Amino acid sequence: MDQFIIQSLREYAERYETETFLFEDPSIFMHKVQGESNQEIIAFIAAGLSYGRRELFFPKIQYIIDCSHGDVEKWILSNDFCKDVPDNDNCYYRLYTNKIINTFIRRIKSLLEEYGSLRQFAISNTKDNDAVTLIEAFTKYFNTNEVSRVIPKDTKSSCKRLCMFLRWMVRTSSPVDLGLWSDIVDKRTLIMPMDVHVIQEAVRLGLMTGKSVSMKFAQKLTSLMLDIFPEDPLKGDFALFGYGVNH
């Protein structure tokens, strides 16, 4: 890889991984609640809703924080969510109906009742500190009752939103990411979240050809980022964001 590109990406990663990044990113919502369990849950929900235009899905995430008064865990376990997100076919956000989101939240409730927390689910379902094993576990657990509309059915796709969620949970020493699960998953095994922007910039840099959103391509790009950031490949997420801003 061209040394100029490598140096530029390293500089962009440092320049753009700052608190100001939060202001227009869905990761901001996990910083709005108190307590690790609430942060994990709202991060998981926020990741699931993060597609399309931010000005449209941001209010849908904020709605959940407002309804729960910031105590998302209590809101879910007490079934209070049922009155705020009823089980009907009205639109919640784009292709998601209230029913789809209600079912998604019910499945989160089942997970909390079975494991106690998302963290404990991660501990119980991660093998060898590897992120992909946990991504697979999430797809299997949520692949029932239409919930796969929010969580992918399997890891054939890039699972962009799950990869983003794990970035938030695992990476440490970051003003953006929380690092709550750094002892569960090795950050060197995290997979690049393959959104449209990341793909676009990777293609422009010649790091990838084509615009596949498969897990295979996500792992290929992650491998390239690992060459640039050997201890923390998902610094590449911020690096490609910075490259896009400047070119």
Q: Is the pTM of this model over 0.75?
A: yes
At residue 189, the pLDDT reads: 98
CB 130 within 8 A of CB 189: yes
Lowest-pLDDT range of 47-61, 138-152, 186-200: 138-152
Spatial contact of 104 and 48, defined as CB atoms under 8 Å apart = yes
Number of separate domains in the chain: 1
Question: pLDDT of 220-246, one tens digit each?
Answer: 999 999 999 999 999 999 999 998 887
Res 148 pLDDT > 80: no
Answer for the pair 91, 138: CB distance below 8 angstroms, yes or no.
no
Range of the domain at 233: 3-246
| pLDDT per residue as tens digits for the range 194-225 | 988 899 999 999 888 877 889 999 999 999 99
Q: How far apart are CA 220 and CA 149, in angstroms?
A: 26
pLDDT > 70: percent of the chain:
99
Distances in Å between the Cα of 142 and the Cα atoms of 77, 79, 153, 228 are 17, 19, 8, 34
- Has residue 116 got a pLDDT over 90? yes
